[in-house]
Amino acid sequence: MDTTTARDRRWIALILLCMAEFVVVLDAAIVNVALPSMQRDLHFSQQDLQWVVNAYVLMFGGFMLLGGRAADLLGRRRVFMFGLIVFSLASLAGGLATSQGVLVGARAVQGLGAAILTPAALSIVTTTFAEGAERNKALGAWGAVAGSGGAAGVLLGGILTQSLGWQWVLFVNVPIGLAAAAVAPMLLAESRREGLERNFDLAGAITSTGGLVLLVYAVVKAVDNGWGSTTTIVLLAIAAVLLAAFALIETRARQPLVPFRVFRIGSVAGANLTGVLMGAALFSMFFFISLYMQQILGFDALEAGLAYLPLAGSIVVAAGVASQLTNRLGARSVLVGGLALVAGGLVWFSQISVGGSYLADVLGPSLLAGWGLGLAFVPVTIASQGGISEADAGLASGLINTAQQVGGALGLAVLATVANSATNSAMSAAHGARSDLPQALTTGFSDAFLVGAGIAVAAVLVAALTIKGSGARPEQEHDSEREPDAELVAGPA
C-alpha cells in the first residue's frame, strides 16, 4: 500500500470511528424524548421510568475504565468490534421489548457495549494520528461528533417517536452498528500492548467497576432518596471503600489496571479533573433546557428537537475551529476560553422567565454555550491524551470518558436536587397553588443553571492551573504514516 493510500485510509477510518461514537452519544439522549411513549406502552410508573435512562448511564460510566484497558491488552480493533456488536444486539432487544424488565435490561447491556467500544474507538484515533496538528485535526472531528450527538439525539428522537414509534429510537442503532463492525477489519489495523503478560488485574477491575457503578447509582438515586438519607450515605460509603481499596491494590499490583504513573504525564490529571467538572455542568444543561421548553414554553417533542439545531450546529463549527486554534494557541488557552463561554451561556440561561420565548430565552444562550462546548471538548481530549504512550492509549481514553460520564451523573444529581428544592420552596411560599407551578419550576431551573455556571467557572480555574504547556506540537505533523510503538503489534489479527 503506498503512502497516499495509507493516509487516505486513515481519514476514512476516522469517519467510521466518529460514526460509532455518534451513535453512542446519540443514544444517551435519543431515549429521553421517547420516554412518555414507553411509559404508556409498557405501563411504567413515574419512578420506574427513570431506569430506562439510568440503566444505560450506570453501565456506561461504571465499565468504561475496564473497557479501555481491555482494548490495550486484547486488541483495540477486536474490542471495538465486540462493543459494537453488543451495543447493536442490545438495541434490537430493546426495540422488541414487550415488558419493563426486558427494556431496562437491554438498556443496561447497551451501556455495557458503549463502555467497551467508546474508549477503544478513541484510542484507535490517538494511535492512528501523530501527536500534534494531525491528531488535533482528527480530534476536532471527534469532538464535533461527540459534542453534537446529544442535541441531535433529541431531534432524531422526536422525529422517530412521532413518525414510527418509540421502538425506532433503538432500532436505528442496529444497521449502523452492525455495518460499522463489518467494515472495521477493512479499515482498521489491529493494535495492542505487547511484550507483557496480559494480566487483567482482576482485583482492581472488580473494585474499580463496583465502586464506580455504586457511585453513579447512589447519585442518581439521591434525587429521590435525598442526599442525607441512610440509603444514599451507605451507598456512597461502600463506593468510597471500594475505590479506596482499588487505589491500594493499584499501588501493589504487578500490572495494575490503572498505573498511577499516567497521572504524572503531561496534563492527564488536570484534563481528567476538568472533564469531571465539564460533564457536571454540561449534561445538566441539556436536561434543564429540554424541561424548560416542554414544560414552560409548551413545545412538543419534535419542536424541542428542532429547537436544538442551532446548538448542535454551533458545537460542530466550534469543534472544527478548536483544532486549528489549539495548534496556534495551545490546549490550555482554547480550553479556558471555551469553558468561560459555557459559564456565560449558563448564566444567561439562568435569566429564563415563565413568560419567556425561544428567541428571547433559549436561542442566544444556546449559541454561546454551544460555541463554548465545541471549543472546550477538543482541547480537553487533546490534553488527556498528550504524552501517553501507545501502550496506554486505551487506558487514557477510558479515563477521560469515565471522568466526563461520572461528572455528568454527579452534576445532574446535584443540580436536580437544587432545582427540586427551589421549586418546592416556591410552591410552599405560594401555598401549593397549581397555577403557581410554572413559576416554581422556572425558579428551580434558573437556580440549577446558576449553580451549573459556578461549576463551569470552577472548571475554568482548574484548567488554567493544571493544563501544562501548549498541548499542541504541530511540528510533529508529517506526511508518512506514523511508525507503530515498539510495544505495539499492528496489522491483521
Q: pLDDT tens digits, residue range 215-230?
A: 878 877 787 788 889 9
Residues 129 and 213 in one domain: no
Nine-digit cell string for 374: 465545541
Q: Are residues 65 and 161 in the same domain?
A: yes
If you average pLDDT over each of 72-76, 241-245, 292-296, which comes out highest?
241-245
Residue 490 included in any domain: no
**Running DSSP on this structure, what letter comes out for residue 195?**
S
Instruction: Extract the C-alpha cell encoding 390.
Output: 501507545
Same domain, 143 and 276: yes
| Same domain as 437, residue 341 | yes
The answer to the question of residue 493 being in a domain is: no
Question: What is the pTM assigned to this prediction?
Answer: 0.80
Q: Is 168 a domain residue?
A: yes
Block residue for cell numbers 422556572: 442
Are 288 and 216 found together in one domain?
no
Q: Which residue has the higher pLDDT, 227 or 284?
A: 227
Does 332 map to a domain? Answer: yes
User: Nearest Cα to 181, choosing from 312, 83, 41, 106?
Assistant: 83
Length of the chain: 493
Give CA torsion, residues 177, 179, 180, 186, to 10 deg.
160
In a domain, 484, yes or no: no
Q: Answer whether 398's CB lies under 8 Å from 370's CB.
A: no
At 192 the pLDDT is: 65
Comparing 116-125, 390-399, 466-475, the range with the smallest average pLDDT is 466-475
Number of domains the chain contains? 2
C-alpha cell at 286: 441539556
Q: Could you tell me where the DSSP H helices lie in 129-263?
A: 133-163, 168-171, 173-187, 202-225, 230-252
Q: How many CB atoms lie within 10 A of CB 461?
A: 13
Residue 8 confidence (pLDDT): 67
How many Å apart are CA 349 and CA 353, to the nearest integer?
A: 10
Residues 181 and 318 in one domain: yes
Q: Judge contact between 62 and 115, C-beta under 8 A.
A: yes
Q: What is the DSSP letter of 96?
A: T
191 domain-assigned:
yes
Query: For the segment 337-367, what is each residue's pLDDT rounded down to a tens digit?
Result: 999 999 999 999 999 999 889 999 999 999 9
- Per-residue pLDDT for 483 more than 50? no
Same domain, 219 and 289: no
Rounded to 5 degrees, what are φ and ψ at 491? 125, 180
Is residue 165 scored above 80 in pLDDT?
A: yes
Q: Determine the number of helices (DSSP H) and then strands (DSSP E) in the chain.
A: 18, 2
Higher-confidence residue: 371 or 33?
371
Q: How far is CA 410 from the centre of its chain?
A: 13
The grid coordinates of residue 208 equal 474499580
Residues pairing with 488 in the sheet: 193
Both 95 and 220 in a single domain?
A: no
Residue 190 DSSP class: E
* pLDDT of 478: 40
The answer to whether residues 241 and 287 belong to one domain is no
d(CA 31, CA 279): 19
* Residues 6+ positions from 407 with CB-CB distance below 8 Å: 275, 276, 277, 278, 279, 280, 283
195 pLDDT tier (thresholds 50, 70, 90): low
Q: Describe the chain by its helix, strand, coil percentages, rounded to 5.
A: 80, 0, 15
Do 265 and 400 lie in a common domain?
yes
- Residue 213 located in a structural domain: yes
Same structural domain, 234 and 290: no
Closest CA to 171 of 54, 102, 93, 109: 93
Which residue in 253, 257, 264, 266 sits closest to 402, CA to CA? 257
- Give whole-number Cα distances, 50 to 100, 107, 219, 466, in Å: 11, 12, 13, 36
Mean pLDDT over the full length of the chain = 82
Are residues 135 and 272 located together in one domain of the fold? Answer: yes
Residue 273's CATH number:
1.20.1250.20
Q: Give the residue with greater pLDDT, 345 vs 284.
A: 345
Tell whether the torsion through CA atoms of 10, 371, 117 and 89 is positive or negative. negative
Q: Please give the pLDDT value at position 491.
A: 39
C-alpha cell at 279: 460533564
- pLDDT at residue number 138: 83
**Separation CA 365–CA 347 (nearest Å):** 8
CB 10 within 8 A of CB 126: no
- The DSSP secondary-structure symbol of 491 reads E
- CA separation, residue 448 to residues 229, 347, 413, 458, 493 (Å): 22, 10, 11, 15, 50
* Amino acid 47: pLDDT: 63
**C-alpha grid cell, residue 307:** 429547537
**Do 490 and 191 contact (CB within 8 A), yes or no?**
yes
> Is 485 within a domain?
no
> Range of 158's domain?
3-200+257-472
238-250 burial, b for 16+ CB within 10 Å, e for fewer? Answer: ebeebbebbeebb
Give the domain-ending residue among 232, 256, 280: 256
